[in-house]
């Protein structure tokens, strides 16, 4: 059987973009479950919800550029037994609606799934108001909240589908209108709360999430030529953190490098450091955004400016080897 005949139809449609994977996964789930509803904060095209609009228009609610209201609508629908999937821009669906998110969703433990597109510095040219570099810290600080950061469109599809079984709210951090090179298999089955080891190695462990996973893999492949064995861990779930995988990395390697497109305060690096500081202290280095607002510019240039790259991951690994 040819690869074309076995590849699911959604793969081509999502165009290597996790934001579209989320929308098409929600559409797919809605076809099977009439309790699934999409609540959009001006994201019908950004998230890829047009197919759901055509198939089930009564279960797509467009709230417009009103994230606080959208959050309240989603929470209210969850109280009736519906399964709302809230679609928004990461910088706005988190910061702008934090009160409603905290009180109406997290505190009430509502089964609301938040798909947050354009995270990190994908909207680089729009400036600090449109960057989402603190969203992981905000979300993982909320009790009851599950925090997911898929590494590519394949993983975004499967993790979105996996939220069907979650009891309580969840946050899925998605990309923007940029290609996200696939690093996981189309038929992968990521388990919420269980990291995936993509490369084996016992010298250094690199724990990465989101768009930095592909950079971690590139760094590991390059360092292998120098005789440095790098274990690459795709930490697609920030909360609950996979304690066993992190502690094994701390015990079995000479140090841990974390890599994320997020502030170094409160994100993946902070979560890993909190765990190992108490359970198994180890040397660490961090790749991510320093304590400042990012400059305005094309996303690749902004990432390069702040060292969110394979080159910087390699440099941090070498530091731990010295």
Tell me: the pLDDT tens digits for 233-288? Answer: 999 999 999 999 999 999 999 999 999 999 999 999 999 999 999 999 999 999 99
- Tell me the mean pLDDT in the region 7-13: 92
Count of all residues that appear for the chain in the document: 322
CA distances from 270 to 28, 134, 207, 265, 273 (A): 35, 12, 12, 6, 5
> pTM of the entire structure?
0.96
Name the token pair of 268: 């993946």
Q: Which residues are CB-contacts of 2 (< 8 A; sequence separation ≥ 6)?
A: none
Helix, coil or strand: residue 244 = helix
What distance in Å separates the CA atoms of residue 135 and residue 271, rounded to the nearest whole number?
14
Q: Where are the beta strands (DSSP E) in 49-130?
A: 60-62, 83-89, 113-117
CATH code for the part of the protein at 3-173: 3.40.50.970
| DSSP notation for 194-225 | --EEEE--SSEEEEE-TTHHHHHHHHHHHHHT
R_g of the chain computed on alpha carbons? 19
Please write the tens of the pLDDT for every residue from 84-117.
999 999 999 999 999 999 999 999 999 999 999 9
**φ/ψ of residue 38, rounded to 5:** -105, 130
Kindly report, as residue ranges, where domains of CATH 3.40.50.920 are found in the chain: 196-321
**Given this model, what pLDDT does residue 5 score?**
53
Strand ranges, E, within the chain: 36-40, 60-62, 83-89, 113-117, 146-148, 170-173, 196-199, 204-208, 230-234, 237-239, 256-263, 284-289
Residue 6 pLDDT: 82
Peptide bond into 240 cis (omega under 30): yes
The tens digit of pLDDT for each residue in 56-88 reads 999 999 999 999 999 999 999 999 999 999 999
Share the mean pLDDT of the chain: 96
- CB-based burial of residue 225 (10 Å sphere; 0-12 exposed, 13-18 middle, 19+ buried)? exposed
Confidence of residue 4 (pLDDT cuts 50, 70, 90): very low
Residue 3: is its pLDDT beyond 50?
Answer: no
8 Å CB contact between 120 and 73: no
Class of domain 196-321: alpha beta
* Residues paired with 196 in a beta bridge: 234
CB atoms closer than 10 angstroms to residue 298: 11
pLDDT at 1: 34
Sequence ranges of the chain with CATH classification 3.40.50.970 = 3-173
Residue with more model confidence, 6 or 229: 229
């Amino acid at each position: 059987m040819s690869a074309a005949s076995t590849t699911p139809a959604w793969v081509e449609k999502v165009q290597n973009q996790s934001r579209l994977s989320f929308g098409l996964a929600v559409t797919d789930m809605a076809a099977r479950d009439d309790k699934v509803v999409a609540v959009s904060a001006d994201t019908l095209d950004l998230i890829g919800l047009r197919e759901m609009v055509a198939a089930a228009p009564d279960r797509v609610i467009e709230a417009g550029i009103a994230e606080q209201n959208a959050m309240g609508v989603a929470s209210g629908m969850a109280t009736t037994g519906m399964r709302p999937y809230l679609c928004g821009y990461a910088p706005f669906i988190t910061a702008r609606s934090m009160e409603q998110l905290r009180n109406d969703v997290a505190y009430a433990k509502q089964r609301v799934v938040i798909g947050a597109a354009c995270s990190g510095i994908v909207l680089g040219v729009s400036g600090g108001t449109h960057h989402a570099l603190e969203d992981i810290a905000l979300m993982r600080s909320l009790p009851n909240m599950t925090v997911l950061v898929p590494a590519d469109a394949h993983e975004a599809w499967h993790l979105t589908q996996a939220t069907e079984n979650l009891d309580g709210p969840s946050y899925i951090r998605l990309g923007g209108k940029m290609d996200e090179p696939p690093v996981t298999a189309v038929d992968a089955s990521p388990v919420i709360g269980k990291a995936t080891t993509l490369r084996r190695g016992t010298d250094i462990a690199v724990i990465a999430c989101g768009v930095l996973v592909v950079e971690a893999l590139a760094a590991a492949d390059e360092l292998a030529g120098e005789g440095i064995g790098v274990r690459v861990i795709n930490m697609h779930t920030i909360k609950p953190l996979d304690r066993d995988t992190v502690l094994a990395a701390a015990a079995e390697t000479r140090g841990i490098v974390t890599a994320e497109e997020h502030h170094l305060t409160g994100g993946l690096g902070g979560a890993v450091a909190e765990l190992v500081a108490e359970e198994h202290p180890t040397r660490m280095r961090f790749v991510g955004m320093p304590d400042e607002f990012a400059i305005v510019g094309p996303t690749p240039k902004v990432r390069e400016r702040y060292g969110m790259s394979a080159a910087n991951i390699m440099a941090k690994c070498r530091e731990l080897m010295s």
